[in-house]
Every structure is written in structure tokens, then in C-alpha cells.
Structure 1
Amino acid sequence: MTATAPALSVLAQGWCALSLLHSKIENHLERVLENEHGLSAREYSLLDVLSRQHDGDGGHLQMKQVADAIVLSQSATTRLVTRLEDRGLLSRYLCPTDRRGIYTNVTEAGMELLKAARPAHDTALLAALAEAARDVRLEPLVRALQTPPTSIPVAP
């Protein structure tokens, strides 16, 4: 049996803390969004991402981009889109310039639900972070999330 390198132990502990923080936040968001708005956290994320796209060239996201943004596989994202489309929250249509492309838009009902759910989401996120900050293992990660990233100067 070999001893684990100290740096790897620290890295593994950090990874475990990050996984724990993510799980705590996700579970809290899931409970609040489901109870108050009938949405899963992934459904909320999908509506949120799609609501931020715009019309015009380059305005719509490809399914791979959406999948990356909500951290799901493309097939799981397609199933999620279908579920929300069945509920009347999303609509799909063919790209007018490339018949192979399919665009997904948030419907008016989807925008209304997203608008209603956003305050609950944001409040739940703050509450989950406040609770996590009381755990000494998670407090440094919470602090890092609450610190705005420093901008990286662009070379002339």
C-alpha cells in the first residue's frame, strides 16, 4: 500500500467539498422550485438559458451549447426540451437558413413561469449559500463564489 501524496489529498478534499456544496445547493433549489413552481432545477436552468438568447444571426443556441450551459448530455437536454415543450413552456422550429437546425424558444407561458420562479430561485440560492457558509469545510468555497472575479486585462 502506498501513501497518498499530500497535494493529492488536499486536492481530493477540495473536490469532495465542492461536490458537497454543489449537492447542497442543487437539493435546496430543487425542493423550493418544485414545491413553489412545479419546476426542477434543470428545467429552471434550461428556461433561464434559453430566455437569454436573442433573435437574429448567432442569436439562437445550438443544442450542444444549451447542453453545455446546463451541464447535461445532448440526449438528456433533448428529453428535457421535449418535456417542457409538452407542457407548453418551449416551442421548436426549423432554422430558416439551415433546414437541419432546430431552434428552441421559450413561450409566453414559459417566460411567465420563469419570471415567477426567478425570485424563489434567487432566494433559495442565497439561503443555501448562507447555510453552507456555516460549514467550515464549505465556507471558503462560498466566499470564493461571492467574490467577483477579477478582470483579466487584455493586451493592446
Structure 2
Amino acid sequence: MVADVSDVAELSLVEEWHLLLARHAAVFNALECALQDEHGLGVSEFEALEALAGCDHQCRAADLTDAVHLSQSATSRLVARMEREGLVERAMCDVDRRGVFVTLTEAGWTRFRTAKPTHRRVLRETLR
């Protein structure tokens, strides 16, 4: 039986998807291992610290959710964990009491600065 053009295109598309998933898993796992071993951080914690460092050390929790690519509830658990570790602080928005701001602490800023070279090294090693 001869595959028609649409079958070949579909197989190519699915193969491309699987290659993307494999590359993502390889990079994510390498980052997770290096950040955890060297700095006691997971990838999500590092991404949250980086997002906060990039937005003048404070942002709305909803904006942090977009930056770390997690659900709202998963981001809330992440922030609670990071708050217990002293990396961030949460505060209610004075204008909108439903809004929550997440602020990078000095300990969080220090941990981000020390972990950033590891993050970038792993990216160079796995993406190039």
C-alpha cells in the first residue's frame, strides 16, 4: 500500500512533535539536575526568581503564573514554598485586595545571581 501525501505530512508533523518533546525533556532534566544539585532550586523556582529579577523584583502573582508556565494553583504552591524558604514575600495589593504581589527577597536575589551561571551553562551545553 502506498501512503498518500497527507499521511506522510501527518507522520512528519508527529515526528517533529516527538523530537520537540524529547529536546524539551533533555534540557529540562539537565537543568533540574544541575540547579538542584548546585543550588537547591528546581527549574520552576529558578524561572520564578528570574521573572521577579526581570520585573524590578516584584510582580503580580498572575503575571508570575504566565512567566513560569504553570497553572494558577501550581504557581500559588510554588510561591508558598519559595516564601517558606525566604526567597520571596507576598503582599496584598493596596488598590485591589484580590491582587497579590510577589517580591524577591535579598536571599532570593542572591540565590538567583549564584544560580544564573549554572542555568546558562546548562543551556549552552544542551541547546548547542
- TM-score w.r.t. the length of structure 1 is 0.74
Identity level (%): 38
What number of residue pairs does the alignment pair up? 124
- The partner residue of 1:20 within 22, 25, 36 is 22
User: How do 1:86-105 and structure 2 match up within 5 A?
Assistant: 86-105=84-103
Distance 1:71 1:37 in 2: 21
Give the letter for the 2:17 counterpart.
Answer: W
Say which SS state the counterpart of residue 96 (structure 2) adopts. coil
Unaligned runs of 5+ in 1: 131-156
What RMSD, in angstroms, separates the aligned Cα atoms of the two structures?
1.6
Query: 2:111 maps to what in 1?
Result: 113
| Amino acid in the other structure paired with 1:19 | L
State yes or no: 1:80 paired with 2:82.
Answer: no
Write the deviation string for residues 55-106 of structure 1: whole angstroms up to 9, x where unpaired: 8xxxx54333322221111100000000000000000111121122110011
- Give the drift of 1:12: 0.4
Matching residue's letter, 2:15: Q
**One-letter amino acid of the structure 1 residue matched with residue 53 of structure 2:** S
CA offset at residue 54 of structure 1?
3.1
Asked if structure 1 preserves the Cα contact closer than 8 Å seen for 2:91 and 2:101, the reply is yes
User: Residue 144 of structure 1 corresponds to which residue in structure 2?
Assistant: none
Query: Corresponding residue for 2:62?
Result: 64
Letter in 2 for 1:91: E
Which has more helix, going by share of residues? Answer: 2
For 2:63, give the aligned amino acid: Q
Checking the alignment, whether the CA contact within 8 Å between 2:27 and 2:126 is kept in structure 1 is yes
Secondary structure, counterpart of 2:126 in structure 1: helix
Which structure 2 segments of 5+ residues have no match? Answer: none
